[in-house]
Amino acid sequence: MRALNIITLILIIVGGLNWGLVGLFQFDLVAALFGGQDAALARIVYVLVGASAVWQLVPLMRSFSDGETAAQGRRH
């Protein structure tokens, strides 16, 4: 489960950086690397980034219910 959380966080960071590039320079790095926005591989990356964001909602909501922030984590 920890590995999946790390992978999804990396994908969210990639997506955030990509959106930053789009906003600042109108440059879509994912599209440039994988053959355009309509290319199958680029669309897969977009879907994986979106699915990663949904996946990360679970620990976020859990941290609210536990009364701690996700950055603090649990220390026993």
Q: In this model, does residue 1 exceed pLDDT 90?
A: no
Tens digits of residue pLDDT in 3-59: 999 999 999 999 999 999 999 999 999 999 999 999 999 999 999 999 999 999 988
Entry pTM? 0.78
Q: In this model, does residue 73 exceed pLDDT 90?
A: no
Token output for 42:
């680029």
What is the residue whose two structure tokens read 């489960």?
1
What is the residue whose two structure tokens read 């355009």?
36
